[in-house]
Chain A
Amino acid sequence: MAAQDKRVRANKILRKSTAVSVSVALIAILITLPYILPAYGTALLISIFYAVILAISFNLIAGYAGLFSLGHNLGLGSSVYAFIFLINMGIHVLLSGFIAFFFTVALAAFVGAILIRVRGAFFAILTLAVCQIAMAIANNTYELGRAFGLYLPTTMVWSTQSSYYAMLLLMLVTYYLSYKVVNSRFGLALHAIRESEEAASAIGVDLFKTKLLIFIISSVPINILGILHAFYYGFTIPIVFGLFIALQMQFSAIVGGLGTLLGPIIGSVILTLSSNLLGLYFPGVSWMFYGVVILVVMTLLPQGIWGYVSTRVKK
């Protein structure tokens, strides 16, 4: 028995060290890529990182907490708009960043507190409703640039390389965040809530607090992403609140595997790469392809690609 325990532990250490070394190797590759690839390759990778960050955040709230949010890009739009608005008012970059960040966190807390009282389909549609209302406000308010949107002064826009590293860093931090959340006691509480809310509250989980907390936590990466968005693209238009981005976020996470750590990454990589490259060579069908992939995956592999792989491969 003791010998077997030792071997199990040894395997665990072996797995963990392999995982660590693989991760380090991967990060090293990602760091050097901008020097090898042309700017387009870097830009494509930035698009992938963008999608990954969105997908992981969505996964936190939908996959682990079971709260399906159709409007999770509220934080994205709010932070971009707030940030650029403050900068155009002449406020210093760092201060603008902080204010924008805390503003969006407060907004997430506010919206979350109101909305998490409802469940399932309603939560999904209400989060969408909030986003659509935000879009209407952005579209109609003169100070927010109406349909023109808001622009960052061109001198403040980051180069592709700088944006790449910022996005890479954010993506790694987001992944680490999701890893920590999932493997903590808080993560267990989330798991309990996802399985059965009644049972969870029966064992003493504070439903409201837990759900609110995950709502806020999962929108933090998105808020920061909004600020990076401002630096990379240099402008924002009301569409950032739209259904389009929300859909991309969800589909990446779902196709990859909701409720798994690596699922969102794999889903984002596959969907972003394929729709971008498809769009180049077969214009007109990239969205169609999206729809078909979604249907196929949901029919054949409802747990998502990585979800399927990880259930097949026993621990």
Chain B
Amino acid sequence: MCRGISSKTAITKIQAIIMIIVIVVAGSITYYYFTLTQVKPSEKEYITFGVTLPLTGSMAFEGEHRSRTIDIITQYLNEKGGLFVKEYGRKLNVTYILYDDTSDPARVRDNIERLVTIDKVDFLFCDQSGNKEAVMMMAQKYKIPQLSSGWLPAMLDQKGDVWFFSIIPPYSEYPRSSLEFIKWVIDNPNIPANLKPQRIAMVYGSGSFGVASHAGALYWAKTYGIDHLIVAQEQYLDGAKDFTPVITKVMAANPDVFFANGRSSDTQYLIYQAKEMGLNCKLWVNVLGSDTDEFRNVLGDKGLGIVGLRSNWPAQPWAGEWCGFKWSSAEIFDRYYKRGINYTSGYDISTLGCFQVLTEAIYRAGTLNFTAVRNKILELGKEGFMIMYIGTWLCNQTTGERMGARFAACQLQMVGGALKPVIVYPEEQFGFKIQEAKPIYPDPTYKP
């Protein structure tokens, strides 16, 4: 009787395995067939963009901002009638499919596979700075042009066969305007000698932005002849929350310029804590993000007089026509307001810029073919927008005129009772003044 039971249960176990396998395989094949879609060109109604963003995980705040911008800009484009594609002879509405990659690079890769091979999107739009390495590898591998906010050193190794473009200059460009501003202060005859900067302490983040930006800061300091003023270079751990040790080290060098060079989510606390600890500086510089609302909220009154670069405007790469119609940054910005978003972050703006460049390239190419669009992206670059990367252009807010190839320095000043970023440097670019106010120098709390 034991024999009978054992043979029965032995087969049952194997049957269980077989059943599981069959179910899984059958399910997968069925799923595949149900998701297979083909659309004929004459029936084509939409251009579908495939998007993968970190909606959860450590980069969730980036994903949230970028996804809302994609939503806003696609709606805006559709209200203007859509994107005209010559190949189809008419305007097509744009839509997108968004997947969450949970900030995991492996998931980014898989999501892109899915978007391309199952959802069969027309184009990919995977602008994210969190896992752009994975996006870059997929772009290079499958030869799909990708626009991104942020570049990678590895891009330079691709030797001409580049499919991954950045609309933002290399990180090493970021500190440039802030250092120009320091030079301007030094050269300014109206500032008494004892108030001029003499000892610069540079504090930078350990992440990719901080390290590259710091290297750039050293380069530009040397170019402007002020590198002999650097008395301290300290690195903090990216994402650190307690900066006291680093600040202590900096204070030991007795600087009068505090040059914070890292992601604004870190430097806002860095500067706050430095001021708390009583560091007394003539000038406080925060390279990235000084003009964000969050920065102003965190620092409050301590933010007055801080200088940094200006980039977070809703004003975009070029004035005039976009995809064949007149556009206005004010209209787009209005839509953020309507959603209860009172300020745009760098993520919003860079995604906006990327999308505009990509759609403009599609418009000019007249087709959705990857190679043709890529060639148009390269042409846009030669026009002055991009080489392998483009510099963010400043636009005059009222006329929309293009103003410069690099960032300008802004400063946090009290305007109408509220702390606002105001451009203080440079005075002139391309023949017209963009300076809106005189810089406040030295820092209002400085005690000589």
Contact = CB atoms under 8 A, between A and B. Distances in A.
B118 A38 contact: yes
B153 interface: yes
B32 interface: yes
Interface string A261-290: 010001001000000100110011011000
Interface in B200-219: 206-208, 211
Give the dominant DSSP class at A's interface.
helix
Contacts of B11: 14-15, 18
B206 A139 contact: yes
Interface string A129-154: 00000000001100000111101011
Given A11-B6, A38-B117, A147-B206, A29 B25 contact: yes
Interface in A293-314: 309-310, 313-314
A50 B116 CA distance: 22
A286 B207 contact: no
B7 A151 contact: no
B56 A284 contact: yes
Interface residues on A, range: 35 or more
Given A39-B117, A41-B32, A147-B207, A22 B133 contact: no
B110 A276 contact: yes
A5 B3 CA distance: 9
Contacts of A38: 32, 117-118
Nearest to A288: B56
Nearest to A15: B10
B32 A11 contact: no
Given A269-B24, A286-B102, A313-B16, A40 B113 contact: yes
Contact of A151 (B32, B55, B157, B206): B157
Interface string B1-13: 0010111011111
B227 interface: no
B18 A22 contact: yes
B445 interface: no
A26 interface: yes
Contacts of A50: 106
Contacts of B5: 314
- Chain A CB within 10 A, most for which of B25, B32, B137: B137
Interface string B147-181: 00000111001100100000000000000000000
Nearest to B20: A266
A283 B114 contact: no
Contacts of A310: 13
A43 B113 contact: yes
Interface string B69-103: 00000000000000000000000000000111110
A315 interface: yes
A279 B102 contact: yes
A280 to B, nearest CB: 6
A234 B141 contact: yes
Contacts of B98: 283
A239 interface: yes
A313 B13 contact: yes
Contact of A286 (B7, B12, B56): B56
Contacts of A148: 133, 152-154, 208
Given A19-B14, A151-B154, A154-B140, A314 B3 contact: no
B364 interface: no
Interface string A142-184: 0000111101011001001000000000000000000000000
B97 to A, nearest CB: 10
B134 A15 contact: no
A279 B53 CA distance: 11
A210 interface: no
B414 interface: no
B107 interface: yes
Given A40-B113, A276-B107, A284-B55, A14 B7 contact: yes
A70 to B, nearest CB: 19
Given A279-B107, A286-B56, A233 B137 contact: yes
A280 B341 CA distance: 26
Contact of B113 (A39, A234, A235, A280): A39
Nearest to B119: A40
Contact of A283 (B21, B25, B55, B211): B55
Interface of A: 4, 7-8, 11, 14-15, 18-19, 22, 26, 29, 36-44, 47, 50, 139-140, 146-149, 151, 153-154, 157, 160, 233-235, 237, 239, 244, 262, 266, 269, 276, 279-280, 283-284, 286-287, 309-310, 313-315
Interface of B: 3, 5-7, 9-14, 16-18, 20-21, 24-25, 28-29, 32, 55-57, 98-102, 104-107, 109-111, 113-114, 116-118, 133-134, 137, 140-141, 152-154, 157-158, 161, 206-208, 211, 238
3 A-B pairs closest in CB distance: A283-B100, A38-B117, A40-B114
